[in-house]
Chain A
Amino acid sequence: MTRDLTLAGYAVIALAVLAYQVSAWRRRDRVTFGQFVATLAAWPPTRWPLLAGWLWLGWHLFVRVHWR
């Protein structure tokens, strides 16, 4: 039950993200997730933390893991 509840929480958030993303595709006055991230990546104070975070994500997913 707890696993289902945790997964349901992720699913609800994913659906909310998808709903806003679709509404941003339809309405030009809203910003899509890609545009939001691209704007943060172009702004100097957030650019370097974002790039460093992306490198960390790669290390976390492809280096720091035990494959079965």
Chain B
Amino acid sequence: MRRQPSARLSQVRDVKLLAVAAVVLAYAWWATQLRPFAATTGAAVVGAGAAAMAFGAHHRRRSARRLGVVDVAVWATLLGALAAWQVAAYLQHPRSDHPTLSSLANALLDTHPARALAFLVWLAGAARLARA
């Protein structure tokens, strides 16, 4: 029995998607085990983020909604409070007593699998932001 052309197309699409996912996963694993502060690491991370943004921008939707004054005020207040608390912690020492978001994130991303997973989330965020 012959398969429908649309079913074959969908199968090819699934295989392509799986291959892309495997490559992105392998890249995330590789990029998050590179030496910190090195130029190669910077290029590998920022380059991948820029590529994800280029992909997102290519599939741009342009369907953003209008923001109301109350929504802007509430989100700006919450983000402002977070920024103020973060700066207050940053200006005080020792860091163990006054953790910043960065120091908390560093503790969370201490293992290689956690770092690779966070890198994938960051890449997805880059594509999503650029798609808006």
Contacts and interface: CB of A to CB of B under 8 A. Distances in A.
Interface residues of B, number: 49
Interface residues of A, number: 39
Given A31-B65, A38-B64, A13 B78 contact: yes
A8 B85 CA distance: 11
B9 to A, nearest CB: 31
A68 B103 CA distance: 13
A60 interface: yes
Interface of B: 31-32, 36-38, 41-42, 45-46, 49-50, 53, 62, 64-68, 70-72, 74-75, 78, 81-82, 85, 89, 92, 96-99, 101-102, 104-106, 109-110, 115, 118-119, 122, 125-126, 129-130, 132
